[in-house]
Chain A
Amino acid sequence: MRWLDRLRMRLQMLFRRGREGRRLDAELEFHLEQQIAENRAAGMSAEEARYAALRSFGNPAAMRDEARESWSWNGLDRLGQDIRYATRQMLRAPGFAATAILTLALGIGANTAIFTLTHALLLSSLPVRDPGQLVRLAMDFHENEHSRNQPLSVPFMQYIQRRTQTMTGIFGWSTYDFVLADRGTSRGVRGAVVSGNTFESLGLHPAAGRLLEPADDQPGGGPDGWAAVISYRLWMEQYHGDASVVGRRVTVTDHGVTIVGVAPPRFEGMLVGEHPDLYLPVEFSAALNGNEATLHDPMANFLTAFARLKPGVTRAQAQAEARVVLPPMLQSLIPPEVLRTPQAHRVTLDVDSARTGWSTLRLEYTEPLLLLQGMVGLVLLICCANLSALLLARGSVRQQEFAIRGALGAGRGRLMRQLFVESLLLAMPGALLGILLAWLAGPWLAHGIHQQESQSYLNTRPDAAVLAITAGCACLCALLFGMAPAWAASRTSLEAALRSGGRRAGSSSAGARRVFVPLQVALSLTLVVAAALLGATVVRLRTENSGFRTQNVVFWYADFGRLIQQKGVDLVPVYRRLEQRMEEQPGVKAASVVSILPFYGWAHDGHFTTSGDAQHAATETLDINEVGAHYFDTVGARILAGRDLRNDDSDRNSCIVSQRAAALLFPNRPALAGTLHEVERNPENGAMVVRNCVVVGIAQDTKYDSVEEAVQPMVYFPITEQSRLVGLFLAIRAQSFDAASAAYRKALHEVAPTTPETDPATFGQLFSDSIAREQLLSALSGFFAALALLLSGIGIYGLVAWSVTQRTREIGVRMALGASRTRVFVLVVRQIAVLLAIGIAAGGAGAFFAARAVRSFLYEVQADNPLVFGGAALALVLIGLLAAMLPARRAVSIDPMEALRTE
């Protein structure tokens, strides 16, 4: 029963190691005694016999180790030893351990925090069956960056479903805000309308009840009437996981709906960060709009379309098919006059992987996140360099200890391993603390990312995948910063270390330590230049003239949903009356109505021409804004020529154009009093409708989408047509925010008492939100650069302080021989100045690449701005010299007698 013997041995070795160790000692001792006895028998004296036996015995400690080597679990045993030993080392120098752990916590925390975001937004797969098979279908009109990723219409999706050989289960998805009313309480919930086959195609299983099916996606609803699926989160929060919620009748935005089931727990929708709580069939959206036609209109593109690749089909094959399917699809579905437009010629149908779902946030934040990821990587490198230098310094102090351990038979490998375990023991608490920091910073970062979409929700808590990466990161760090000290320790020369008494040793590791200062300086300079460029961009954006006056201008969304539901309510007089009443309130300087808010990142456009034959003329596509009277006065933009719109029907056929639009539409003649034709296709019958208007004023150019972009030409229409008046904003400029709020409330309660109040948005807020990305990027990169500077400063301080300690005697001798304090000071600082110079030269090259990397985020700031480079270098030099100054002062105050006496 050999295996039984072996098992018995193993267990014994695991659980009775102590006893086995004592037995080994006894065994060896017995051997020694036998030898002594033999020696005595051969005639030696007792003492002689003992020494002879010991001599022949060799090194008992080494032999003991070698015998133990053959035992099982030896690795574990040694690891235990190493950990015990490392813990003792750490406790002996708590200040050092705390510094190291804090440094690492900052470095690892920054990495974890940024990686959590990257993971949530870019990397994590959807919790559905075979997410790798999912693709997204989107139109690209190839006009600008906003014309990509366009949604599809229902007829398009049906057409593709009929023709495709490569994809199955095409489904559409559109985010929708609902009002969920249940047992007297009502609340707004974020939801989505989805095709009936969505859940089937995703391969999801309900947490309770059933999910939506194609039978539910019919005009007027399916067998259960309008069927809704709620999210697991809503189920838990509002219904406490009660299974009886299935079959419950609720009201969703004034329509009776039956909850038929609960979505699985981890499923948070196809659109990252949207997090819908209520799913209804696409047909329901037609019922909400009271317009079934939108579901049959091929031009009504409102569904983000997804599909599943058939087994064995690649995305490239599906893309090739999409190229073939698109032209006949357009031919058969799109009206001929639209087919003639340039967009119809340029448009493509793109098939992209949807393994990780889809998010518009990705368009904006992929590059910034990758950039930040790179930055935190550099910060971590600086941390590692710092720790490496710290450990090297400690290593030189501990050289005697290493020498003694070596003399007692510890191998080079054993010493190196010991040091790695010590590094790991520092890295692990550092990582834990870092995770805590990331955990705390997560919500703040997410808030920075979607200020504009305050309702969306990114999972910013580190999850298992993130934690695994962090742990890996910590191990890598330990390896990185432990390598140099371990190497130095393994090369310790026994005699030299023992003889020198540990004071003058370590000149070899001094060289290694000096490498770290230029490295840190170079990396810091890279980060500082990037941060400075991004910071300058934000400053530039903040001071950019957008054309608006921004003091005390407040906007409110006019939530007239209920009024619209009441048939026959004409909103035009409601708006006009509101405008008038708001202006009559105390403290209000001007008030108006507007359909497109400045910096709201949203616009709608129309096709314009000045040609008499509007039906067939080439058109210009311009942004349209509907405004009430005094709009320009309210937002502080000027009317350069002509007059403002009036708040009555006499201006039904008037419009105002912006400077840029005037130049574009009336290139060689005065725009004022000119006639403009807006050409629009009637969605019902495809006929072209022409709307004429006379230009009564020319307004100053203003920026609407964002401050960064070029001024867009814009046409302003008066609020005269009911069809265009859904969801306007009320605008007030007043003496103070409070005066504006009071005026809004008073006028609203008076004119439209059933309409709920909405949250105010100040001009400043809208503006901040519009540059949120740049601000986030600049704030974070600034923080990381400051961190890098701090770490470099600490690194330089450490090196100088250490070298002053090492050279105390030398300095003492120099001073005794007549060196002045200034000379000593220069001696100490010169050494660091050289390292700084090397670091800055290398950092200049790094900064050059950093500037290239951030170039796409800059606004009117030159990437090779010499001021930024020079300023950053100067900052580093100052910090470096400051850090060197403190220990240098100590060197200067060395008392020669004292220094020599300690010898």
Chain B
Amino acid sequence: MGKPNDLVQGTLDLLILRTIAPEPMHGWAIAKRIQQISREVLQVQQGSLYPALHRLEQQGWIRARWAESETGRQAKFYSLTAAGRRQMEQETENWNRLSAAIDLVIEGA
């Protein structure tokens, strides 16, 4: 079972950015969403998720806001900033290039 920690450095950042791109989400939901979309392949550990979220926030790519969650409890919702959106696009492009290259090598070998 692959964990984001095992992936290329910075991949978790990209996953987070993409996940919250459509709408603001809290940490729990982000982890769940990544798990769902990856069909349970990617399990984001809390130990990696929250430090990553705080790091992204420090860098100004995401912004946090306290709001009421679905269950009526106060939760911290993360959303993308303009800089974060640019960062996301750039990282997506990098990722695509990298994975295409890896595909080529695997196919050709």
Contacts and interface: CB of A to CB of B under 8 A. Distances in A.
B51 A63 contact: yes
A72 B69 CA distance: 28
A785 to B, nearest CB: 57
Contacts of A69: 51
Contacts of B82: 1-2
Given A6-B58, A9-B58, A58-B47, A30 B81 contact: no
B51 A30 contact: no
B84 to A, nearest CB: 8
B60 A6 contact: yes
Contacts of A63: 46-47, 50-51
B71 interface: yes
Nearest to A57: B46
Which interface class (under 10, 10 to 19, 20 to 34, 35 or more) fits A? 20 to 34
B58 A27 contact: no
Nearest to B86: A2
B59 A30 contact: no
Contacts of B47: 58-59, 62-63, 66
The residue among A1, A28, A70, A71 with the most chain B CB atoms within 10 A of its own CB is A70
A69 B76 CA distance: 19
Interface in B18-75: 26-28, 45-47, 50-51, 53-55, 57-61, 63, 66, 69, 71, 73-75
A78 interface: no
A3 B60 contact: yes
Nearest to A23: B76
A27 B76 contact: yes
A58 B46 contact: yes
B101 interface: no
B83 A67 contact: no
B51 A5 contact: no
Contact of A26 (B53, B57, B74): B74
A33 B63 CA distance: 23
A66 B51 contact: yes
B58 A72 contact: yes
Given A5-B83, A31-B46, A63-B47, A71 B76 contact: no
A882 B13 CA distance: 67
B20 to A, nearest CB: 15
A23 B27 CA distance: 13
A786 interface: no
Contacts of A27: 26-27, 50, 75-76
A70 B76 contact: no
A35 to B, nearest CB: 8
Interface string A29-43: 011011101000000
Contacts of B74: 26, 30
Contacts of A58: 45-47
A34 B35 CA distance: 15
B51 A31 contact: no
B60 A30 contact: no
Contacts of A28: 46, 50
Contacts of A5: 60, 63, 81, 83
Contacts of A57: 46
A3 B83 CA distance: 10
B28 to A, nearest CB: 4
A23 to B, nearest CB: 7
Nearest to A33: B73
B28 A34 contact: yes
B60 to A, nearest CB: 4
Contact of B81 (A2, A24, A71): A2
Contacts of A6: 58-60
Contact of B26 (A3, A30, A62, A72): A30
B28 A2 contact: no
A59 B46 CA distance: 10
Interface string A70-84: 111000000000000
Q: For A34, A35, A37, which residue has the most chain B Cβ atoms within 10 angstroms?
A: A34
A30 B54 contact: no
Nearest to A35: B28
Contacts of B73: 30, 33
Nearest to A4: B60
A67 B50 contact: yes
A71 to B, nearest CB: 6
Contacts of B61: 2
Contacts of B83: 2, 5
B86 to A, nearest CB: 9
A73 to B, nearest CB: 10
Nearest to B62: A5
Contacts of B69: 30
A34 B32 CA distance: 11
Interface string A1-20: 11101100100010000000
A34 B61 CA distance: 26
Given A9-B57, A69-B51, 7 more contacts: A1-B82, A23-B76, A27-B50, A27-B75, A66-B50, A67-B51, A72-B58
Interface of B: 26-28, 45-47, 50-51, 53-55, 57-61, 63, 66, 69, 71, 73-76, 81-83
**Shortest beta-carbon contacts, A-B, top 3:** A2-B83, A70-B55, A5-B60
Interface of A: 1-3, 5-6, 9, 13, 23-24, 26-28, 30-31, 33-35, 37, 56-59, 62-63, 66-72
9 contacts: A2-B83, A31-B27, A31-B50, A56-B46, A57-B46, A58-B45, A59-B47, A67-B53, A70-B58
